Amino acid sequence: MTGTSRGVPLAARLPRGPRLDYMSPDAVRSSLGKSLDRSHVVILCSGLLLAFIQAAMIPRGGPVPPYLWMFPVVVLSYFGAGVRAWHLRPSNHLGMIMVYGGFAVFLGGLVSADNAVLATAGGIGATLVLSVMVHLLHAFPSGRVHGRISKTTVAAAYVNSLLLQAPGYLFVHDGPAPALFIVENSMVSQTAQLMQSLLGAAIMAATAFVLVRRLRQADGPRRRSLAPLYAYGAFAVLFVPLGANVLAPLLNMTPEGLMATQLVVVGGIPLAFAHGILRGGFAKTGELEELGSWLSSAGGTRPALAAALSRALGDPSLALSFWVPRHGVFVTGDGDIVAPAAPQPDRGTVKVTVEGRTVGAINYDSSLIAEPELVRTAGQVVAIAVDRERLTAELRESHGALQRSRERLVDAADRERRRIAQDLHDGLQMHLVLLALEAQKLANAAGTDPGTSARATQLRHGIDSAAADLRQLVHAVMPAALIERGLSAAAEDLADRLPIPTTLELDLAGQNLPSAVESTAYFVLAEALTNAVKHSQASSVRVRIVAAGGWLLLDVTDDGVGRAGLHGGTGLRGIADRADVMGGTFTLASRPDEGTKIVVELPCG
């Protein structure tokens, strides 16, 4: 049977801390961030190269459909807006999706290429940009697709663009990908085309429905930010099926004209996103949704609250402090008091409140975040978490105050024990010695009277016995060696008086230990050795006492029968309680027939 117990002190308090110094964003910018910027430059250059290649493939002789010249422009619009969004919000997937949309537009423009391989790739991805457009609209602003309807719609869009597109070139001899032609089967290809059109119309209708519903559910500020993009998105997704099936026959539009019109509408999607980013809608909604995702994550996977706010708002210098009403101060997460700072032109502070109560404050770089409302809204998103952290900080501070109170009580009790022991040793014990001497004189003076001499001698022996009992009592209250010569001498005295072989290793490095620590260490050692002699049936004991790094380590190991536990008596429980009162730790390992090992660590710095 094994007994194990460990107590860990909580050292939370409100120390006097220095005033917070905020570093500029450039000073804290990591090499990873700079590497990401270089990657964005490479991606943008890749988009420019793709646009140039697509422009170079346009035939120079004979009539050229005007819409072919629009493909390079749309490619650049997707790459430009995507890199911009990716740069502003590296953790958001929207930028990556827009860059992917640029590749999709490039693939769609390869349909008219003279090269068979390129034309085949273009035939495969001819309608892929439509699924990317749907994906973008459903993922805005968080970069992730949420909700069953949105997930189903996006998945159906990719199925529609890739799988239902396949019969159009696999079973059509003169289709857009002749290299992949298998066999002529007009019924399969026409059925697939009809299904693609119907499913595409359903996908676009579902997307418009989701956008309108989100817009209606949004509050005033978010609705103003989301309205331009969602309104254009709803128009774009409805135009694609209506343009091909209604407007084109109604207006007698040629296929080239319909293609050009659709390219203009699809190419406007990244421009609408860029407009939303510049107006702040992307930041206001995307960051807050990320914070919401953070709050719903498991506690073990969450970053620090201040780090989550800093990442979400894009301000590496952001600092979060917590309000402690009992002391009327703001403190950091480490418990340091935040000194009031003089107003600075490039810093702003917003308080975080819950039900009208101030629970914290956010200090941010106002040159990076121009709108305080954004910080205030982010603070409200995490207000409950801030309040929880504030309550935790107060609980830790209360525990720290209780811990210090217990330490003071122990210290006062030890001082009183020392005083009592000193008084008994210097007063009563000395008085008994003097009485014994007087009794001896009476015995010597009454030499001619045997009865009187015997009674005087008996009195002296009684006084000597009482003095011996008093010495034992003084030693139990507080050993004289501990009072006069410290822990090292007291530990050596204990080891010398032990009835079994004892190895003592002392390394106190001349440290002047606090009296409360010395007293606690001595009584812990005495109880551990008593346990080894009385209960463990040990044949030898090893004691190690080391002071290092602001901690005093006591290690008592015996070779007895083991099986010691905290519930078998009050001795070991008393050791654990004494260690806990002093803010230390206690560890007990006692396996059958392997002896007992008691380790106690006490703070002495």
pLDDT tens figures, 55-68: 888 776 656 677 78
CA dihedral 516, 520, 526, 529 (to 10 degrees): -140
**pLDDT score for 158:** 92
pTM of structure = 0.49
Q: pLDDT at position 468, please?
A: 62
pLDDT tier at 424 (50, 70, 90 boundaries)?
Answer: low
3-state secondary structure 35-79: HHHHHHHHHHHHHHHHHHHHHHCCCCCCCCCHHHHHHHHHHHHHH
Question: Position 605: which residue type?
Answer: G
Average pLDDT in the 211-221 region? Answer: 77
- Assign 449 to helix, strand or coil: coil
CATH homologous superfamily, domain 485-603: Histidine kinase-like ATPase, C-terminal domain (3.30.565.10)
- The predicted pLDDT at position 91 comes to 66
d(CA 118, CA 54): 11
Domain boundaries, the chain: 30-58+68-287, 303-397, 398-477, 485-603
Which of 320, 347, 371, 349 has its CA nearest to residue 24? 347
Average pLDDT for 59-86: 81
Measured distance between the N- and C-terminal CA atoms of the chain, rounded to whole angstroms:
36
The two domains 30-58+68-287 and 485-603 share their CATH topology (first three levels equal)? no
C-alpha to C-alpha distance for 138 and 134, rounded to whole angstroms: 6
Amino acid found at 513: L
CA 129 – CA 506 distance, rounded (Å)? 77
Total number of residues shown for the chain: 605
Tokens 């007994």 belong to: 3
Count of helix runs (H) and strand runs (E) in the chain: 22, 9
Q: Could you please report the per-residue DSSP string of 219-256?
A: -HHHHHHHHHHHHHHHHHHHHHHHIIIIIHHHHT--HH
Local confidence band at 433 (pLDDT 50, 70, 90 cut-offs): low
Higher-confidence residue: 259 or 20?
Answer: 259
Predicted pLDDT at 5? 37
DSSP secondary structure string, 516-565?
A: HHHHHHHHHHHHHHHHHHHTS--S-EEEEEEEETTEEEEEEEE-S-----
- Where does the pLDDT of residue 19 fall: very low under 50, low under 70, confident under 90, or very high at 90 and above? very low
Alpha helix positions (H), 91-163: 94-108, 116-124, 128-139, 148-162
DSSP state, 301? G
What is the average pLDDT value for the chain, to the nearest integer? 75
Q: Tell which CATH architecture fits domain 30-58+68-287.
A: Up-down Bundle (1.20)
pLDDT band for 159, please (50, 70, 90 cuts).
very high
